[in-house]
A = this chain, B = another copy of it.
Amino acid sequence: MTAHPRIVVVGTGAVGGYYGALLARAGREVCFLARSDHAELARSGLRVDSVNGDFVLATLSAHHAAETVAPCEIAIVALKTTSNAALPSILPRVLAPGGSVILLQNGLGEEEKVAELPGVGSVMAGLAFVCVSKVGPGHIRHFDYGAVRLAEYTRRGAAGITPALAAVGAELEAAGVPVTLEPDWLAARWRKLVWNLPYNGLSVVLRADTGALMASPPARALIAAMMREVAAASAAEHRAIPDAFIEQMLTMTDAMRPYLPSMRLDFDAGRELELAAMYAVPVRRARAAGAPMPRVEALLAELEFLVAARDEVRRSSNQVDC
């Protein structure tokens, strides 16, 4: 029997904590790299309140810095993309030479950068279809879903189902995660954007959860129109998305418990939004491919305005406090 690969979770937020906890519970050796929760994780472990059954990971290997992590064969990056500038100083330290990096993140444009880092073997797009949030330090709540789609990145075309991809998929599956392996990372990324682009941004601009958006005929029509824009951009990059997929996304969202997407939580908490990876890069690629997404572009501009206004207010009130 071959030894299982060592796994490091880079960024122990809701998503990283959830999947890392499942892997550790299944007996895998998992290191958790955490910025804010490090002390709490080391002291009390990780608590997961899940629709599939609550559990506690009482002891775990928590790390504050990459230096203390012994090299791992698999790195699951679950940072927000806005923190990806830290990856060049983290990944070469925590990854065994030739290891696999899974970017369990939203948006576009990050795999190509990670693929350039020294020592990286495979880079995989990881798409988490999960409703999960951090309710406190070392405390995660899992509301719904949980499947992961994995696809190996390659500079051109589709990588297909590689052995490295299958190996990572097998680890997650053994931990109880429903996994789908995909041959084409770009197709997988565009499909995820079909959901992400309308719901994330509109939840901020319209101050509404998915339930309120879907209950409104004009908002619903706008969401569907944005989805068609994303599908057209994807098709222009030779990754056609059928209308049936859009219908499926709408139906799935109808069936979901009303949900506030991560971008709205970030906005309300005063955190940086993933506007670059989730909006600006797709918008740029769509334009370059000759299929601009005007409604999505408008939404991006609105989000940029609202973030600047939010931060302006924060700066002003800080000044008053001093």
Residues of A within 8 A of B (CB): 202, 205-208, 212-213, 216, 218-219, 221-222, 225-226, 229, 294-295, 297-302, 304-306, 308-309
Task: Please determine whether B295 and A218 come into contact, CB atoms closer than 8 angstroms.
Answer: no
Interface of chain A: mostly helix, strand, loop or mixed: helix
Task: Please determine whether A218 and B301 come into contact, CB atoms closer than 8 angstroms.
Answer: yes
Work out how many copies of this chain go into the complex.
Answer: 2
**In the complex, chain B residues whose CB is within 8 Å of the CB of A300:** 218
Task: Please determine whether A219 and B299 come into contact, CB atoms closer than 8 angstroms.
Answer: no
With beta carbons under 8 angstroms apart, the residue of B212, B294, B302 that contacts A225 is B294
Task: Please determine whether A309 and B208 come into contact, CB atoms closer than 8 angstroms.
Answer: yes
Further 6 A-B residue pairs, CB within 8 A, beyond A208-B305, A221-B301: A205-B205, A205-B302, A216-B309, A218-B301, A222-B298, A225-B294
Measured CB to CB, the nearest residue on chain B to A295 is: B298
**In the complex, chain B residues whose CB is within 8 Å of the CB of A299:** 298
| C-alpha gap A34/B122 in the complex (Å) | 74
With beta carbons under 8 angstroms apart, the residue of B206, B225, B302, B308 that contacts A305 is B206
**In the complex, chain B residues whose CB is within 8 Å of the CB of A294:** 225, 229, 294-295, 298
